[in-house]
């Protein structure tokens, strides 16, 4: 197992070296920012308004879900243990400067996510089963003029998307973090030693029950669960930051300075180069907000909206909440506590966040364990749907139930395997999944620009593409 972990980690390091996937993500995001006229800045108030007003909207078209349900389903998949464990591993591997690059990834990632959602709605289709289906596999296949290239890239995205859902950050990394934080909480609060099988089995059964109901039940569950779990987590983390607010200026300075200068070894922390800060900041940022990954347009694309741009602005808000708000709160807790230099936590993930929060908040390990469970639960149900749609694109709908069964079994597997293996495998599959999607986004940036111009120049009644 150790040899396999090292091999996967070596390939993952090559894919996510600063001049490979990170620079591609940042350049495509910057290109889309320019083509859309800084949509994430100029129209951010619209993004907030569209997202919040969607809370009160209902679906009117068969096979769709409301705009807010699409946002909740996408947030259910993005706001997961990447926000707890992923931020922790970014700091442990890349130093405080990794957070700066996570922010940069989010700033341009808002335009990327906007473009994904716009194309998702514009190119969605209705399947033989009568359901709407969306995602990069459809906008790549139908949007790229070279049909052979479009088909090849669409199949590549669907294959790696299915694999990421089964083996990566959408599944095993979530149950792994849940198991570790649950075991840590039981030990800290009750001095009881619990096997990782216990929380693993619990979340496996709960996710399995929700998945039986399909996208309607997934969306309905996410709509109620996501706002509550985000508020709970932010209450705890913001309280911690305020209790230690005198340390905040120093933390901010450290983040910015060490984004461009190496982080020295201190305590148990071995030190990090600028290249490592970029690598782990961007890779964990994408792991968290999924901008450029191509996953969330699978949910955004079936929203009941009058124009693709309406859901695109909701995508902007999604990235803002996930990274700028939730990930930043986690980073401030870890860095203000100083626990990231403790030798006991150098191989940690979500348990570092729990320990850091516990330095000022009573029963913090229990709070983080509960939030980790809720985050993982929501992410698992969202990513099962994503993987299912990728599977359906390749093989049809007849074997979808078998796919769901395999997905549920792998939740249990993820709970008991090692931390380095699941995170390295997860980010590696993210890279393979993102590449065909980023090619598609670059090729279709003209379509995004036209739809954006039409909408904000007053042509807001244009319907989505005929399906």
**What pLDDT sits at residue 43?**
96
**What pLDDT sits at residue 62?**
54
Is the pLDDT confidence value at 295 over 90?
yes
Residue 266 bridge partners (DSSP): 269
Using only C-alpha atoms, the chain has a radius of gyration, in whole angstroms, of 21
Alpha-carbon span 98 to 412, nearest angstrom:
31
Indicate the pTM of the whole model: 0.89
Task: Return the structure tokens found at 121.
Answer: 């709605």
Is the pLDDT confidence value at 463 over 60?
no
Write the DSSP assignment of 160-216 as a string of letters. HHHHHHHHSTTTHHHHHHHHHHHHHHHHHHH-----THHHHHHHHHHHHHHHTTHHH
Scored b (16 or more CB within 10 A) or e, 149-170 reads ebeebbbbbbbbbbbbbbbbbb
DSSP state at residue 364: H
Instruction: Indicate if the alpha-carbon torsion angle 228, 232, 234, 238 is positive or negative.
Output: positive
Is the pLDDT confidence value at 438 over 80?
yes
Question: What is the tens place of the pLDDT at every residue in 30-43?
Answer: 999 999 999 999 99
Is the pLDDT confidence value at 453 over 80?
yes
Alpha-carbon span 381 to 164, nearest angstrom:
14
Alpha-carbon span 177 to 171, nearest angstrom:
10
Alpha-carbon span 256 to 465, nearest angstrom:
44
Q: With CA atoms as reference, report the closest residue to 360 among 330, 325, 333.
A: 333
Average the pLDDT over 127-154 and give the result: 92
Average the pLDDT over 423-446 and give the result: 93
Is the pLDDT confidence value at 60 over 60?
no
Number of residues written out for the chain: 467
Task: Return the structure tokens found at 276.
Answer: 């490592």
**What pLDDT sits at residue 398?**
86
Is the pLDDT confidence value at 116 over 90?
yes
**What pLDDT sits at residue 64?**
63
Higher model confidence: residue 290 or residue 418?
290
Is the pLDDT confidence value at 315 over 90?
yes
Q: Would strands 125-126 and 132-133 be described as parallel, antiparallel, or unpaired?
A: antiparallel
Contact by Cβ (8 Å): 47, 314: yes
Alpha-carbon span 185 to 368, nearest angstrom:
8
| Number of CB atoms found within 10 A of residue 20's CB | 15
**What pLDDT sits at residue 124?**
94
Task: Return the structure tokens found at 89.
Answer: 């591993």
Confidence of residue 187 (pLDDT cuts 50, 70, 90): confident
Task: Supply angle C-alpha 228, 281, 33, rounded to 5.
Answer: 80
Confidence of residue 63 (pLDDT cuts 50, 70, 90): low
Confidence of residue 373 (pLDDT cuts 50, 70, 90): confident
Lowest mean pLDDT among 44-48, 76-80, 193-197, 272-276: 76-80
Question: What is the tens place of the pLDDT at every residue in 339-366?
Answer: 999 998 888 777 888 889 999 998 888 8
Average the pLDDT over 166-192 and give the result: 84
In sequence order, which residues have a C-beta less than 8 Å from that of residue 266 and are 6 or more positions away? 341
Average the pLDDT over 311-336 and give the result: 95
**What pLDDT sits at residue 61?**
60
**What pLDDT sits at residue 142?**
95
Lowest mean pLDDT among 110-124, 172-186, 299-313: 172-186
**What pLDDT sits at residue 436?**
98
How is domain 14-451 classified at the CATH fold level? Answer: Amino acid/polyamine transporter I (1.20.1740)
Average the pLDDT over 438-445 and give the result: 98
**What pLDDT sits at residue 269?**
93
Residue 315 host element (H or E): helix 308-319
Instruction: Tell me the backbone φ, ψ of residue 455, rounded to 5 degrees.
Output: -65, -50
461 burial (CB, 10 Å; 0-12 / 13-18 / 19+) is exposed
Question: What is the tens place of the pLDDT at every residue in 214-270?
Answer: 666 777 776 777 778 888 899 999 999 999 999 999 999 999 999 999 999 999 899
Residue 263 bridge partners (DSSP): 272
- Going from N- to C-terminal start, the domains of the chain cover 14-451
Is the pLDDT confidence value at 456 over 60?
yes
Q: Between helices 364-395 and 172-190, what is the axis angle to 10°?
A: 160
Task: Return the structure tokens found at 301.
Answer: 């694309």
Is the pLDDT confidence value at 381 over 60?
yes
């Amino acid at each position: 197992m150790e040899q396999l972990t090292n091999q996967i980690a070596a390939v993952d390091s090559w894919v996510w070296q600063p001049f490979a996937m990170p620079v591609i993500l940042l350049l495509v995001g910057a290109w889309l920012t320019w083509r859309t006229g800084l949509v994430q800045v100029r129209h951010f108030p619209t993004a907030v308004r569209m997202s919040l007003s969607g809370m009160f909207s209902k679906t009117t078209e068969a096979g769709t879900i409301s705009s807010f349900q699409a946002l909740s389903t996408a947030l259910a998949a993005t706001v997961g243990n990447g926000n707890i464990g992923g931020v922790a591993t970014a700091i442990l591997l890349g130093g405080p400067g990794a957070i700066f690059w996570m922010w940069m990834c989010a700033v341009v990632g808002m335009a990327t996510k906007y473009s994904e959602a716009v194309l998702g709605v514009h190119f969605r289709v209705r399947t033989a089963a009568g359901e709407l289906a969306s995602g990069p596999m459809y906008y790549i296949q139908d949007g790229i003029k070279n049909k052979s290239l479009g088909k090849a890239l669409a199949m590549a995205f669907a294959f790696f998307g299915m694999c990421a859902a089964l083996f990566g950050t959408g599944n095993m990394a979530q149950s792994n973090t849940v198991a570790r934080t649950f075991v840590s909480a039981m030990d800290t609060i009750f001095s009881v030693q619990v096997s990782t099988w216990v929380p693993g089995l619990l979340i496996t059964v709960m996710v399995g029950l929700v998945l039986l109901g399909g996208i309607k039940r997934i969306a309905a569950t996410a709509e109620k669960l996501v706002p509550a779990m985000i508020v709970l987590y932010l209450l705890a983390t913001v309280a911690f930051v305020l209790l230690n607010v005198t340390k905040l200026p120093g933390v901010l300075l450290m983040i910015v300075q060490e984004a461009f200068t190496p982080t020295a070894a201190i305590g148990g922390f071995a030190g990090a180069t600028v290249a490592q800060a970029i690598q782990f900041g961007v890779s964990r940022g994408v792991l968290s907000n999924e901008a450029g990954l191509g996953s969330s347009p699978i949910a955004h694309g079936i929203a009941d909206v009058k124009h693709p741009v309406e859901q695109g602005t909701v995508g902007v808000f999604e990235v803002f909440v996930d990274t700028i708000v939730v990930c930043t709160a986690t980073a401030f807790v870890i860095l203000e506590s100083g626990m990231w230099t403790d030798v006991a936590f150098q191989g940690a993930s979500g348990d570092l966040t729990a320990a850091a929060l516990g330095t000022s908040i009573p029963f913090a390990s229990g709070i983080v364990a509960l939030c980790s469970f809720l985050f993982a639960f929501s992410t698992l149900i969202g990513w099962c749907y994503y993987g299912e749609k990728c599977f359906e694109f390749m093989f049809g709908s007849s074997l979808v139930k078998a796919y769901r069964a395999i997905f549920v079994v792998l939740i249990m597997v993820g709970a008991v395997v090692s931390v380095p293996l699941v995170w390295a495998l997860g980010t590696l599959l993210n890279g393979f999944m993102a590449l065909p999607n980023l090619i598609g986004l670059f090729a279709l940036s003209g379509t995004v620009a036209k739809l954006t111009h039409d909408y904000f120049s007053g042509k807001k009644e244009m319907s989505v593409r005929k399906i």
